[in-house]
Structure 1
């Protein structure tokens, strides 16, 4: 399995220009794109890529806040996000250390559309280009823990 240390999503937080210009946001590296701005797309593509596995979607938010700032896929204690597959506690530790304050984990049971509506995130058709093929390619770069 290809292992990359979990890195905080906040380390790739979009700049004001990246937030306002979809082309600039789209042209970021894959890791930056899927860490901040399209993490939810990557999480759902990961889940859909392995229909025989009970992969769940989880989110991270600052303690006491309702807004999820990072979404990821979870299977049997492993988390998949822009850093690839890592033990979920490592992903949470990396994000907590970066943010410098406690975080809360949220189990996401909504569909992608419901998640996007609730958390003000973009649906795939709202990006400059279709992010789904890019996400499928990214998922395929990492060997899942059960392989």
Structure 2
């Protein structure tokens, strides 16, 4: 989890020019999740949204098969990813809490479908300064396929 300086997410050029990990941690995690699911459709992974409780920020989308998770950090134990997110959230915002919400794959790249979930509003790949999907695919390629459980 990263916290950006004010104004970066609203500036398409500054947002696009963020380092890869920060770009995929701060507003494009769902694009990375979609790229993963598209690349490894037979690995039994699904998308999960960390939905902050009302009044808090700290949304995040990752993929998991129930044991192994993948996000901007790469591969790690799902429990560790979730614990890290909760620890950071509570460090920065006392009282922070959230819920894990499974998301269908098509929601990850559809602004309209994402808005059908209370509190969710995802940008489509083409709504960034440039198409974010090739960037997500290139970032994903650095990690290789998911490990066998």
Are residues 31 and 90 of structure 1, via their aligned partners in 2, closer, same or farther at CA, if it must alter by over 3 Å?
Answer: same
Separation in structure 2 between the aligned mates of residue 110 and residue 83 of structure 1, nearest angstrom? 20
Runs of 4+ in 1 over 3 A off after TM superposition: 63-68
Compute the TM-score of the two structures, normalised by the length of structure 1: 0.83
Number of paired residues?
A: 137
Gapped regions of structure 2 (runs ≥ 5): 91-95
CA shift in 2, pair 1:127/1:116, >3 Å: farther
Match of 1:72 among 38, 62, 69: 62
After superposition, where does 1:101-116 map in structure 2 within 5 Å?
A: 101-109=96-104, 111=106, 112=108, 113=110, 114-115=113-114
Q: CA deviation at 1:16?
A: 2.1
- RMSD of aligned Cα (Å): 2.2
| Change beyond 3 A, Cα 1:66–1:95 | closer
Q: Distance in 2 between matches of 1:22 and 1:125?
A: 12
Question: Are residue 121 (structure 1) and residue 111 (structure 2) matched?
Answer: no
Q: Could you tell me which runs of 5 or more consecutive residues in structure 1 were left unpaired when the two chains were aligned.
A: 1-8
* TM-score, length basis structure 2: 0.82
